[in-house]
Amino acid sequence: MRDIRLLSEPFNLGLLIGPFTHAHPGLGGVCTFVGEVRGGDGVELLELSHYEPLTLPGMEDLADRAFARFELMGLLMVHRIGPMQPGEPIVCVSAAALHRRDAIDAVDFCMDHLKSASWFWKREKRADGWHWIEPRDSDHADIARWG
């Protein structure tokens, strides 16, 4: 099973992971990462914009690369766009595999690419206005691990 989505509304993790897990009888493990809008530092709102003609096809290509690199039974990749409040989910990546290492590494691979080499632009609203969020040096180092 492969489920790749862009959403403009909050998602319910349980409604995503339950059906995803049940669609893979005999799996050895599922690894899931959920990223949420960070609170603190005066963040009032996070907004993600994207380039529509490339975003979903780019996510599909990333899923293809994950399937080619790891032995997966399934991959779920859900990413939010638009405005989000602190505490709301931004992204969910879940991988099902016969062995835990493939599931863990596939999620890590997808998240590194979504964070640093994707089609999203992030900005945070604070009391003093909007601030663009750029990938950090550590984000670039994370993606470089994958060659």
DSSP per residue over 33-97, as a string?
EEEE----TT--EEEEEE-HHHHHHHHHHHHHHHHHHS--SEEEEEEE-EEE-TTSEEEEEEEEE
- Confidence (pLDDT) at 116: 82
* Percent above pLDDT 90 for the chain: 81
pTM comes to 0.93
Q: How many angstroms separate the Cα of 41 from the Cα of each of 57, 59, 90, 136?
A: 34, 30, 18, 17
The amino acid at 111: M
Just give the CATH number of 2-142: 3.90.1170.40
Could you read off the pLDDT of 95-135 as tens digits, one per residue? 999 999 999 999 999 999 998 877 899 999 999 999 999 88
Question: Across the chain, how many H-helices and E-strands are there?
Answer: 4, 8
Cβ–Cβ contacts within 10 Å for residue 44, how many? 11
In residues, how long is the chain?
Answer: 147
Could you read off the pLDDT of 36-71 as tens digits, one per residue? 999 888 999 999 999 989 999 999 999 999 999 999
C-alpha span between 73 and 95 (Å, rounded):
8
Pairing label, strands 74-80, 89-97: antiparallel
Q: Give the list of residues 6+ apart from residue 141 with CB closer than 8 angstroms, or none.
A: none
Q: Which tokens belong to 99?
A: 């062995």
Residue 10: which pLDDT band, with cuts at 50, 70 and 90?
Answer: very high
Q: Tokens 């003093």, residue?
A: 128
